[in-house]
Each structure stands twice: as structure tokens, then as C-alpha cells.
Amino acid sequence: MENKDNLNSLIEILKGAERVVILTGAGISAESGVPTFRGQDGLWKTYRAEDLATPTAFSHNPQLVWEWYDWRRGLICSKEPNSGHKVIARWEKFFPSFHLITQNIDGLHQKAGSKKVFELHGNIWKIRCTEEDTVMENHDTPLREIPPKCPECGALLRPHVVWFGESLESSVLHNAFYLSANCQVIFVVGTSAVVQPAASLPLTAAEAGAKIVEVNPTSTPLTAYANFSFRGGAGEILPLIDEKLRLISSD
């Protein structure tokens, strides 16, 4: 098997790359102390997604669902971006066209300074009125009231995140597939690459001739399709690549 972790040949490709996309998952926030979903201490090992992250669960027991999201907000609010997040924020200015597509709802990319972020699964710091569909930012930890009510109409508020069985926001999804189909390199960092439609983005990019660069401590269903696959944490591998890139750009 050709070695897929050849940093020098990746740098050669990145030298000429203008349009770069990066797709991230829970793994990029693991080194910041945010639990992943399917990893060893992953959330879905402890909690049942069907009880907490579906529209049915919310209609049955909004109190329980909100208690869980309040706990997660409490966990995330004290976390800081790690060196992986910071490199990605820097690359926004390094590559002529660089876009970040994330499955994460933790907001750590924005906290690291990333501006051009497509959030496929929503954001845990946003809440939405179930009646009027208005979206508002809320950083209260803990929430003042569980379940929270809409300040305008008094209806139940829900987390502005995408639950299992729900469709993604069409404009975000459209942009994500458009950017993936038009990039030259797509980095895939910290995702188990099993959840759709996100898991199809790298394959869409490859079909259009782009190189797939995977960063993950373990192999995933995507590894077989990847041109490069680096075994290690995002906080370790991305700074390594960045260091080499800076060297060539200072030449």
C-alpha cells in the first residue's frame, strides 16, 4: 500500500492549490476537552441519541432534551480552541480560496478566529422559536429557565441544531456541496465519516478531481478513498503541515 502520510508530497500539492476546503468533525475539538460522539468516551456510548437528539424525543420530553443541551453548553463554554482550530483559522488567510465546513456545533472554530464557517449541524449557542422559527444567540450557562420560552411569543424554544431525521439547512448544504465540487484539495479532519450527507462531501470533491487529505488517529471508511491519511491528532498534524507551508511561503 502506497504510504499516505507523505508530508513532502502533500506540501508540493498545496504549493499550487488555490481552492482548499476543510471538513471537520468532533475529533478536532477532542484535544480541547469536548467529547466526541462515537469515540471511546463518546456521547453516544453514554446517552441514547434517540432519547436526546431527535424531534420525537423533543416533543415527548423537552425538559430532558434541554437538560442535556444545558449540560453540554456548560461543558463547552469553558473550552478553548486548540492548535488545530488555530491553524485552520490561519489558513483562511493563507490560501486564495479557503472554506471551512464543520459538523460541530461547539463554536470553537469561530472562537479561534475562523470567519468563513459553514455549520452543517447548527450551533449550540443558538436557539430557535418552535412557533415563529426565529433564531437568537444565547450564551447563558446555565440556562435561566428549562425549557426556555420565546421572549416574543412565549412558545417553546429549541436548540438551533440539526437532529437525526431532520434535514440540513438547504443553503448551507448547497454551499457545502458546491465548494467541495470546486476545490482542489479537501482536508477531512476528526470525523468518523459515517454520518450523511457530510460523509459524501469528500467523495464529491474526489469525483471532481480534488485530493482528499484525512487527519484522524484511526482509519475510517474514507481512508480507502483518501490520497493522504495522517494518523494522529488534529492538534499535532495540522501544525506540522502548517509549519512546512510557512517555510515554503517564506522562501
| Residues 145-184, mask of contacts with ligand APR (x by CB under 6 A) | ----------------------------------------
Q: Which of 85, 99, 109, 121 is catalytic?
A: 121
Q: Contacts with ligand APR: how many residues (CB under 6 A)? A: 25
Judged by CB, which is closer to ligand APR: 15, or 48?
48
Judged by CB, which is closer to ligand APR: 19, or 126?
126
126-134, 173-181, 212-220, 240-248 -> range binding ligand APR (CB under 6 A)? 212-220
Whether 99 is catalytic: no
Q: Is 107 in the site for ligand APR (CB under 6 A)?
A: no
Q: Is 125 in the site for ligand APR (CB under 6 A)?
A: no
Stretch 30-89 residues interacting with ligand APR (CB under 6 A): 30-31, 36-39, 42
Give CA–CA dist 146/102, Å, rounded. 28
Judged by CB, which is closer to ligand APR: 42, or 62?
42
Judged by CB, which is closer to ligand APR: 107, or 190?
190
Provide DSSP, the chain: ---S--HHHHHHHHHT--EEEEEE-GGGGGGGT---SSSTT-HHHHS-HHHHSSHHHHHH-HHHHHHHHHHHHHHHHT----HHHHHHHHHHHHSSEEEEEE---S-HHHHTT--SEEETTEEEEEEEETTT--EEE---SS-SSSS-B-TTT-PBEEEEEPPTTPPPPHHHHHHHHHHHHT-SEEEEES--S-STTGGGHHHHHHHTTPEEEEE-SS--TTGGG-SEEE-S-HHHHHHHHHHHHHHHHH-
| Closest distance of CB 53 from ligand APR, Å | 7
Q: Is 216 in the site for ligand APR (CB under 6 A)?
A: yes
Give CA–CA dist 179/144, Å, rounded. 39
| Closest distance of CB 90 from ligand APR, Å | 17
Give CA–CA dist 184/98, Å, rounded. 10
One residue of 17, 20, 22, 25 binding ligand APR per CB under 6 A: 25
What is the set of active-site residues?
121
**What does the binding site for ligand APR look like in residue numbers (CB under 6 A)?**
25-28, 30-31, 36-39, 42, 103, 121, 189-192, 195, 215-218, 220, 233-234
